[in-house]
């Protein structure tokens, strides 16, 4: 059996998205900036996509929607814009959290090198940032608060509306990385007091390489890429028309079917939690109370997450571990550590992220396969041996 359970990393392109984009790769390949009527029809398709995205996000105007090349670009542009705007007023302090995506954390690192000050808030054990902690961190010179909507590793949802209200009251631009939220749970920039928001098409069944930055009308956006007047001069470069049109179609489809998809995914996710938490000395990471429908994150004591992934791959299961093995570092995931999970335990993490295309049959296969794989690895693990002998203390 082949089971794709890594939907937080990327998703398949939906039929609706593919159908929407195909004409712009074939017959309607014209540059939307050209003046002839065939090209103007392409420009109209982009305008329509902008309206669709604005409506899905509850934005007042499509003029607040900027298409980018990815979620990372939107994150970068949002933070750097707020920082430059702040610097003009002598405000050089930004607030974010320890468990953001690297697109946020590394941008903040770069800003620090340019003389900005950054406060990264702790995350509580339940995987949720507290509004009081944001309030306590705000200073006279704070020029931006950025808190992710839903975390990509543990799936916890943050009190965005409340943090937004606080920032509004203080007059500080509020950005949220909503890449894991958009299309999965309700997002409304007006109701939730959001000033800037990032999303990425490939996390909700559009192709890779297209994202959105929402920026409220009263906030000046700084351009990253200079050139033509595309995206009202805030993002030069001939539009990725097919990607943009597909993103809008995928977002609309996800939003139209949000409730039924969530219901289906929650049933599968709960089955996974139920089955996998029977593994002794395992731990569920992040509170299930505030959670996106599809993400399951657990730790299994005495094993390495990477070994588990390789073993699961042999059995046809695509999953992820929270750890930063790809960056060549042996450190466990910064997200799990920010939740206060001890290093030894965080090493043995597994993230399964499911989508509406998964089936309950696949969940049963996972529940059958993972415990065997964990046991196999524990049988060879010196750490597990010590835990069994009692020369090492159990952490869960
Ligand atoms: C995937 C992801 C991103 C990056 O999006 P790309 O389009 O791949 O650049 C940013 N933030 C979060 C939370 C993500 O999950």
Each residue's pLDDT tens digit, 271-287: 999 999 999 999 999 99
Q: Taking a C-beta distance cutoff of 8 angstroms, is the pair 3, 358 a contact?
A: yes
pLDDT at site 196:
98
User: Which ligand 1 atom lies nearest to the CA of residue 75?
Assistant: 10
Give the ligand 1 atom nearest the CA of 100: 13
- The token duo for 146 is 């950025």
pTM of full prediction above 0.95? yes
323, pLDDT greater than 60: no
pLDDT > 70 in the chain, percent:
98
Confidence of residue 119 (pLDDT cuts 50, 70, 90): very high
Pocket of ligand 1 (CB under 6 A): 70-72, 75, 101, 103, 148, 152, 177, 179-180, 200, 203, 211
- Is the per-residue pLDDT at 53 higher than 70? yes
* pLDDT interval class at 332 (50, 70, 90): confident
With a cut of 90, say whether residue 322 has pLDDT above it.
no
Binned at pLDDT 50, 70 and 90, residue 321 comes out as confident
Pocket test for ligand 1, best of 177, 213, 251 (most atoms within 8 A of CB): 177
Average pLDDT over residues 67-91: 98
Q: Tens of pLDDT along 335-392?
A: 999 999 999 999 999 999 999 999 999 999 999 999 999 999 999 999 999 999 999 9
Q: What share of the chain is helix, strand, coil (3-state, %, to 5)?
A: 45, 15, 40
- Residue among 21, 34, 70 at smallest CA distance from 248: 21
Averaged pLDDT, 88-97 = 98
Any idea which residue has 């007042």 for tokens?
Answer: 60
What is the average pLDDT value for the chain, to the nearest integer?
A: 96
- Please calculate the CA angle 171-56-166 and round it to the nearest 5 degrees: 20
Q: Do residues 151 and 286 lie in contact, with contact meaning Cβ atoms separated by under 8 Å?
A: yes
DSSP 3-state assignment of 282?
strand
Q: Output phi, psi for 325, to 5 deg.
A: -65, -30
d(CA 187, CA 295): 18
CA 179 to centroid of ligand 1, rounded, Å:
6
Angle between helices 360-379 and 258-276 in degrees, nearest 10: 30
Identify which of 17, 66, 10 has the alpha carbon closest to the alpha carbon of residue 197: 66
Q: Looking at residue 319, what is its pLDDT?
A: 97
User: What is the CA(175)–ligand 1 centre distance, in A?
Assistant: 15
Q: Does residue 58 sit in helix, strand or coil?
A: coil
Mean pLDDT over 225-254 rounds to: 97
Ligand 1 atom with the smallest distance to the CA of 74 is 9
> Catalytic residue positions?
325
């Amino acid at each position: 059996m082949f089971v794709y359970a890594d939907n937080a990393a990327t998703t398949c392109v939906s039929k609706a998205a593919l159908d929407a984009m195909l004409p712009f790769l074939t017959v309607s390949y014209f540059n939307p900036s050209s003046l002839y009527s065939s090209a103007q029809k392409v420009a109209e398709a982009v305008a329509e996509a902008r309206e669709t995205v604005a409506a899905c996000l509850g934005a007042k105007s499509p003029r607040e929607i900027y298409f980018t090349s990815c979620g990372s670009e939107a994150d970068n542009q949002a933070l750097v814009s707020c920082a430059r705007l702040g610097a003009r007023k002598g405000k050089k302090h930004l607030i974010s959290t320890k468990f953001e995506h690297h697109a946020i954390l590394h941008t903040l690192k770069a800003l620090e090198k340019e003389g900005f000050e950054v406060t990264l808030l702790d995350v509580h054990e339940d995987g949720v940032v507290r509004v009081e902690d944001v309030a306590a961190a705000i200073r006279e010179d704070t020029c931006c608060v950025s808190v992710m909507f839903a975390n990509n590793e543990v799936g916890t949802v943050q009190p965005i509306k409340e943090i937004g209200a606080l920032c509004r009251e203080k007059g500080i631009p509020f950005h949220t990385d909503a890449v894991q939220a958009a299309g999965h749970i309700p997002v409304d920039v007006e109701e939730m007091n959001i000033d800037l928001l990032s999303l990425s098409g490939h996390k909700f069944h559009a192709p890779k390489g297209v994202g959105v930055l929402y920026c409220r009308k009263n906030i000046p956006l700084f351009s990253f890429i200079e050139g033509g007047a595309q995206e009202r001069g805030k993002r030069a470069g001939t539009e990725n028309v097919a990607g943009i049109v597909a993103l809008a179609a995928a977002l609309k489809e996800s939003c139209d079917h949000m409730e039924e998809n969530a219901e289906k995914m929650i049933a599968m996710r709960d089955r996974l939690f139920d089955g996998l938490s029977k593994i002794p000395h395992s731990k569920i990471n992040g509170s299930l109370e505030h959670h996106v429908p599809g993400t399951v994150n657990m730790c299994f004591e005495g094993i390495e997450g990477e070994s588990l992934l390789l073993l699961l791959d042999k059995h046809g299961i695509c999953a992820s571990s929270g750890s930063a093995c790809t960056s060549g570092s042996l450190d466990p995931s910064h997200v799990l550590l920010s939740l206060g999970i001890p290093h030894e335990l965080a090493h043995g993490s597994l993230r399964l992220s499911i989508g509406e295309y998964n089936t309950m049959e696949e969940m049963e296969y996972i529940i059958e396969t993972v415990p065997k794989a964990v046991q196999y690895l524990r049988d060879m693990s010196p750490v597990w041996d010590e835990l069994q002998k009692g020369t090492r203390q159990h952490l869960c």
